[in-house]
Chain A
Amino acid sequence: MLITKTAQAGSTVKSDVLITVSPSETPGIHLELKSKDVILKQFGKQIEKVIMDKVKELGADNVNIRAEDKGALDYTIRARVQAALERASN
């Protein structure tokens, strides 16, 4: 999957996550996660893993990912990452 432009999916309402993806000039997947401190402390690693697993599953590389989490469950994170990547690759 080739990321050619900046795209977003999701929202900043409760239980959702806003994912923004854009092409990166440097190789790899560059992830920035924003959430409440307490969430980051307790679930930050898990949220990052869910995002990274989905990105790798879809075969995206050379990509910047910004996730603004509002308490999304794993299924929502996976869905929003997929939607953002598909939009960015069209």
Chain B
Amino acid sequence: MEKNTRSMYFVPGNEPKMLQDAPVFDPDAIVIDLARRVPATEKDSARILVKEALQFLDYSNVEVIVRINPLSSEYGLKDVETIAPVKPNALMIPKARVEDIQTLANMLSGIEQAQGLEEGTIKLIPMIDSILGLESVHSIINASSRVTAAFLNAEDLAADYGSKRTKEGDEILYARSKVSMACRAAGIEVIDTPYMDINDSEGLEMDTEKANLLGFTGKAAIDGRQVEAINIVFDASLRQAAFPQAHTHI
């Protein structure tokens, strides 16, 4: 990603009004979802709608990321073939494996060449959303230079190890720490899982502060109203980093 991504706002790919309204909330990035938030019967229609939207709507002030379906599904490759030629900034990959990242990197090189784009223009953002993905995170994010960020999807991850999500998030402390440190070591951005209660602004602020303290560089939003609070927390963090207080050295 080209700039600091504090907030990443997810919108369903089959709802024109949400596609049009998304930039109004001023997120750093929007994630147009072709996967979880589009029912199987609408995958074809959503894919075409997103292709048209990327060519028509003004997304000049926002990074555009398209969350494709898993490559292991019948929809994943069709998503890439349709969407990559209209130049999203990045593709987000659910259930990402090392071989998926490598396959996609090669596929994108071919599409970029055919479209006259510089190789490496389209970035990749693996989702860490399974136990296997979590334990392979280092390999996944280092599988291609196209990977510029990773996204922790704690809802799916917790479900994978049979845990119940809580507002406090103690059950994902290990996952947050592991993903954050792996991404920091690789020098890429790391985006935290969304706060699921869209009406709890205090909880959102606390959860964002916690992610920030654990090393995350940004956080997902599932409602436009969450974007501003997320930006404020990460802005404050950036200001502190720019003007460090005197440290006590041991």
Contacts and interface: CB of A to CB of B under 8 A. Distances in A.
- Interface class of chain A by DSSP: helix
Interface in B41-73: 44-45, 48-49, 51-53, 55-57
B57 A75 contact: yes
B17 interface: yes
B145 interface: no
A10 B17 contact: no
Interface stretch (A21-29, A30-38, A41-49, A77-85): A77-85
B52 A75 contact: yes
Contacts of A15: 16-17, 20
A1 interface: no
A78 B52 contact: yes
Nearest to A83: B45
Contact of B16 (A76, A82, A83): A76
Nearest to B17: A15
A87 to B, nearest CB: 7
B88 to A, nearest CB: 15
Contacts of B20: 15, 73
Nearest to A86: B44
Interface string A1-12: 000000001100
Interface residues of A, number: 18
B45 A75 contact: no
A71 B55 CA distance: 19
- Interface class of chain B by DSSP: helix
A53 interface: no
Given A10-B45, A83-B44, A83-B48, A75 B56 contact: yes
Contact of A75 (B15, B44, B53): B53
A80 B48 CA distance: 8
Nearest to A78: B52
B16 A9 contact: no
A54 to B, nearest CB: 10
Interface string B117-137: 000000000000000000000
Interface string B19-41: 01000000000000000000000
Nearest to B44: A83
A72 B45 contact: no
A16 interface: yes
A72 B44 CA distance: 19
A39 interface: no
Ordered nearest first, which 6 A-B pairs have the shortest CB separation?
A75-B56, A83-B45, A15-B17, A75-B52, A79-B49, A79-B52
